[in-house]
A and B are shown apart, each in its own frame.
Chain A
Amino acid sequence: MNGAQHILQAFQRHSITTVFGYPGGCIMPLYDALVDDVSVEHVLCRHEQGCALAADGYARASGNLGVCIATSGPGATNLITGVANAFQDSVPLLVITGQVPSELIGTDAFQETDVLGMTLGIVKHSYLVDDADSLPGILVEAIALAQSGRPGPVWIDIPKDILLTQVNPEAADHDKRESCESAEPRTDSAIYSAAIDKGINETLRLLREARQPLLYSGGGITLAGAEDSFREFAEHSALPGVVTLKGIGNPGRHNPNHLGMLGMHGCRAANRAVDECDLLLVIGARLDDRATGKPETFAPNAKIIHIDADSAEFNKIKAAAVTINANLNDVLSALTRGLQAQPLSIETWQKQCRTWLTTGGFQAADNEEALAPITGPAFVRQLSRIASDDTIISCDVGQHQMWVAQHYQFNHPRQHLTSGGLGTMGFGLPAAIGAQFAKPGTAVINVAGDGSFMMNAQELATIRRYRLPLKIIILDNQCLGMVRQQQELFYNNRESHINLDDNPDFVAMARAFGIPALHINRTDQIRRGIETILAYKGPMLLHVAVAREENVWPTVRPGGSNRDMIESTKPAKNKTEENAA
């Protein structure tokens, strides 16, 4: 068995059944081995970035490891954006690239790049394999590392000659296996257990002392598989709660104390509650700048308790009174048990937060005028009402992404695929492909902007090839809307290179790939348009013309305080006209 065949055997042993890849010179031995392999479904995307983002979407939707494969040189460099995207959002990914033969490394050979060097900042760990007999141990370690603790991408760069060399299965590096096992968080030791118990007791004490405690959760809940224990705690404690972009869906659709997303495009109720709380219980979140705004004015009156699987996140932005580095499931269950004997008395605070939610939640009135132009928020609210409870929405990046985050009611965080950390335009379509492979029986919708859609539009061919039933919705405002919005608000409305009014005919484009498509541009067409694409058995694209001047509200000036939210008082178009006058 050669190195390439051993990789496929490792896939089988680790129940890896779907991989996303693109062949080329130095990875050809692996593709040759795939000819005789029936255990792995290889999905051929049309660009390596599509492979990496599809693997990312697969992992996000399923909770399993995503795998992508490419050749050396440009194949590897094309993966980089997708791998950086996974790194920023802690998505477990195994990346395998071919490298030029060992003897040619360092000779500027054809399609040679220093993949190990150029990817150091976007991986959890990486390997350049220099000995075929080390490959089995590296594969075991890499697969475990990618999924353990705080997940992330692990990259294995393999010279072509190693792929062709016979591997001695008995030579599997046992040291690496042991090292891998020891890489797990050491939460079972007596010292760690005592620290966790102390942290939990201190958290319970501070919760009981607080008059205005607030629950703040992020993407770490899903990464830990702690959705159920989180909901149990949220419901039992009845704490008012806010979520980050990646925490959307944590509390489900029906938690009456949930205030919504906080931060730059968060709702006024959520940001107000953070501003007024006296205790902030942060679970599975890293207090990133889009959520906190200016850190000096973030939660100014609160003691902070920070619970996370990654201790490096503690005290990075704001110092915490209590930190707990542990499995979130265990901590949340312990907190729930701790509150059972003595529930919190925070009725006045709960009532206040609900009042804020009534007046400062995400509100987008449905347009009553049938012939009126479609707005993003109105469309997303309709989509949320019509789509089934388990529908997966895969967003791109920009205004539409924020409208989805604000106005779609998610039942579970794994239904909301969004590029939170890196903000990768072009994420949505390939991620939806990955999600559809992970969840073949579930409705998957890519909600895109016209700018983002064009960044990985080649993957329409992948959808067609595999006859994936996913739906694509393009909210087309014929510009880079989020950039235009910031130019309008913060750069004296000086528009610079955001115009996309020469977009292709998206309906004709989809049809050219063999995907049927519809176009709508009036409010009274929204329901029919959504129902039509959802009822169609195969892939379908809905092109939605939306108003160019529509902004995402509320918003906060970059680097500004979340207290200083800007809200529209009149249509942006009128404001533009006033400025022009």
Chain B
Amino acid sequence: MSKAIPSNTTVSSKTVSNRHVLYCRMQSEPAGLERLCRVVRVRGFRIAGMSVECSGEHFDIALTLEGSRPIFMLQSQLLKLHTVGEVVLGERQMRSVAF
């Protein structure tokens, strides 16, 4: 991540809005999806599309997001949620995550 941005650059949100697709796998729990959506909103992104599949004890979530901030900042915040196991950007496939 640090190589993507020149050192000492100020990370600003005043740039053009971009569209991203994030795939998340999280443990199924009360308020789990609320937790996820709250972080997306607070960290400056808008949900343009969302699909959720519940398989056993976890959710597989595909988020289409719009926002001007660097997407890695949202990824790292989502990964801090205790029940989120994996967050990948774009078309990459998620590997199996044990909770």
B: contact size bracket:
20 to 34
Q: In this assembly, does A295 line the interface, its C-beta being within 8 Å of a C-beta of chain B?
A: yes
Inter-subunit contact B42/A315 (CB<8 Å): no
In angstroms, Cα B34 to Cα A303, docked, is: 38
- B-side contacts of A296, CB under 8 Å: 10
How far is the CB of A202 from the nearest CB of chain B, in Å?
A: 10
Q: In this assembly, does A307 line the interface, its C-beta being within 8 Å of a C-beta of chain B?
A: no
Q: In this assembly, does B51 line the interface, its C-beta being within 8 Å of a C-beta of chain A?
A: no
26 contacts between A and B (CB under 8 A): A117-B31, A120-B38, A121-B38, A125-B82, A128-B30, A145-B82, A179-B99, A300-B8, A302-B8, A315-B2, A315-B5, A315-B11, A315-B70, A315-B72, A316-B73, A317-B11, A318-B9, A319-B5, A319-B6, A319-B8, A320-B2, A320-B7, A321-B2, A321-B7, A321-B8, A322-B2
A-B pairs with lowest CB-CB distance, top 7: A321-B7, A319-B5, A312-B76, A319-B9, A125-B82, A295-B10, A296-B10
Residue of B35, B73, B77 most packed against chain A (CB within 10 A) = B35
In angstroms, Cα B10 to Cα A298, docked, is: 9
Inter-subunit contact A120/B8 (CB<8 Å): no
How far is the CB of A278 from the nearest CB of chain B, in Å?
A: 10
Inter-subunit contact B31/A116 (CB<8 Å): yes
Take A121-B42, A322-B2 as given contacts and tell me if A304 and B82 are in contact as well, using a CB distance cutoff of 8 Å.
Answer: no
In angstroms, Cα B7 to Cα A116, docked, is: 40
Q: In this assembly, does B80 line the interface, its C-beta being within 8 Å of a C-beta of chain A?
A: yes
Partner of B76, one of A124, A145, A311: A311
Inter-subunit contact A130/B30 (CB<8 Å): yes
Take A116-B30, A314-B1, A320-B2 as given contacts and tell me if A303 and B7 are in contact as well, using a CB distance cutoff of 8 Å.
Answer: yes
Interface string of B65-77 (1 = CB under 8 A from A): 0000010110011
- A-side contacts of B42, CB under 8 Å: 121
Residue of B7, B72, B99 most packed against chain A (CB within 10 A) = B7
How far is the CB of A99 from the nearest CB of chain B, in Å?
A: 12
In angstroms, Cα B11 to Cα A310, docked, is: 18
In angstroms, Cα B31 to Cα A120, docked, is: 9
Inter-subunit contact A299/B1 (CB<8 Å): no
Would you call the interface of chain B mostly helix, strand, loop, or mixed?
A: loop
Residue of B8, B10, B83, B99 most packed against chain A (CB within 10 A) = B8
Inter-subunit contact B31/A304 (CB<8 Å): no
How far is the CB of B79 from the nearest CB of chain A, in Å?
A: 8
In angstroms, Cα B9 to Cα A320, docked, is: 8
- A-side contacts of B79, CB under 8 Å: 312
Inter-subunit contact A318/B8 (CB<8 Å): yes
In angstroms, Cα B79 to Cα A312, docked, is: 9
Would you call the interface of chain A mostly helix, strand, loop, or mixed?
A: mixed
Closest to B7 in A: A321
Q: In this assembly, does A183 line the interface, its C-beta being within 8 Å of a C-beta of chain B?
A: yes
Q: In this assembly, does A108 line the interface, its C-beta being within 8 Å of a C-beta of chain B?
A: no
Give residues 3-49 of B contacting A (CB, 8 Å): 5-11, 30-31, 34-35, 38, 42
Closest to A295 in B: B10
- A-side contacts of B73, CB under 8 Å: 312, 315-316
Inter-subunit contact B8/A303 (CB<8 Å): yes
How far is the CB of B83 from the nearest CB of chain A, in Å?
A: 8
Q: In this assembly, does A415 line the interface, its C-beta being within 8 Å of a C-beta of chain B?
A: no
In angstroms, Cα B99 to Cα A170, docked, is: 21
Take A295-B10, A303-B7, A304-B7 as given contacts and tell me if A323 and B2 are in contact as well, using a CB distance cutoff of 8 Å.
Answer: yes
- B-side contacts of A315, CB under 8 Å: 1-2, 5, 11, 70, 72-73
- B-side contacts of A311, CB under 8 Å: 76
- B-side contacts of A312, CB under 8 Å: 73, 76-77, 79-80
How far is the CB of A435 from the nearest CB of chain B, in Å?
A: 29
> Other CB < 8 Å A-B pairs besides A312-B77, A315-B73, 19 of them?
A128-B30, A130-B30, A145-B82, A295-B10, A298-B10, A302-B8, A304-B8, A312-B80, A314-B76, A315-B1, A316-B73, A317-B10, A317-B11, A318-B8, A318-B11, A319-B11, A321-B2, A321-B7, A323-B1
Inter-subunit contact B80/A310 (CB<8 Å): yes
- B-side contacts of A298, CB under 8 Å: 10
